[in-house]
Amino acid sequence: MIHARFVSPTLIAVLVAIGCGSSKPQDASATTNTHDTSSPSAVPMQLAETPAGTPAASGTGTIQVTAKLEGTAPKADTVKMSADPVCQQKHQTPVYAEEVVVNDAGMLKNVFVYVKEGASASAAAPTTPVTLEQNGCWYAPRVFGIQVNQPLDIVNSDDTLHNVNAKPLLNAPFNVAQPSPMKTTKKFTKPEIMVKFKCNVHPWMNAYAGIVENPFFGTTDASGTTSITGLPAGTYTLEAWQEKYGTRTQTVTLGSGETKSVSFTFKAQ
């Protein structure tokens, strides 16, 4: 096991230089492996995951989004954390990979949806940071949105060493070793769909961020739904991204104060 208080500068430097990646897990509660479950451990802070659900301004429209899987979801792999007892001790039940998470109705969690075309960029980025937490040797949230130049706080809440390795194509990459309770703050200067985060120490840890220019985005919850609010009247192209199944697009026209529903379907492979 690797405890932060015993990590030498030399070991940290070595870990920063190592690449990593794999799929991420979910706790097995009272559902099957590929179905949605609760978080693997209690998250001690509010996660600024997405602005979805914010009350719409007068005269603006709302798009209610659903995402579902057509076909049988793949069986999720069991995540083995025995290499680091600190991680293993935080989970009382088996943990499963979260590449595809569906509920009993086939609705997909962790689908990122944003306005790809039709909305102008915001004049200024929010100053409130989005938080990406490492807790139970797990990233929370797994999939989230953040605006260009909005702060991203990456927090280690585990009593073990983590490593945050992000390699975007359009933004500056970074690779930071994080002993507990270190916090790292980053910003992305260009829109990019999606940016992957990996851990060099625990290769099952992954997270994905959608970097966008405006607040018109959301991530589907356990019910497979999210809402994009505050849209002026107009025609918009929406894109939905899912970790395993890629992207889907749809066009929708909103009137002033109108609410419309859009459904994205991903076919199981």
Per-residue confidence band for 58, with pLDDT thresholds at 50, 70 and 90: low
Give the helix ranges, DSSP H, for the chain: 9-17, 85-88
**Range with lowest mean pLDDT among 12-16, 32-36, 237-241:** 32-36
Is the whole model's pTM more than 0.85, yes or no? Answer: no
Give residue-wise pLDDT tens across range 40-49: 333 333 344 4
Give residue-wise pLDDT tens across range 145-189: 999 999 999 999 999 999 999 999 999 999 999 998 999 999 999
**CB 200, CB 1: distance < 8 Å:** no
Give the separation between CA 201 and CA 183, rounded to whole angstroms.
Answer: 17
**CB 150, CB 130: distance < 8 Å:** yes
Q: Which top CATH class is 4-267?
A: mainly beta
**CB 33, CB 75: distance < 8 Å:** yes
Give residue-wise pLDDT tens across range 226-250: 999 999 999 999 999 999 999 999 9
Residue with tokens 């083995």: 80
Give me the chain's average pLDDT, please.
85
Query: Which three-class secondary structure state does DSSP give residue 63?
Result: strand
**CB 81, CB 253: distance < 8 Å:** no
What's the order of all strands across the beta sheet hosting 234-242?
217-219, 112-117, 234-242, 246-254
Give the separation between CA 163 and CA 141, rounded to whole angstroms.
Answer: 16
Per-residue burial over 56-65, b if 16 or more Cβ lie within 10 Å, else e, is: beeebbbbeb
Section 247-260 average pLDDT: 98
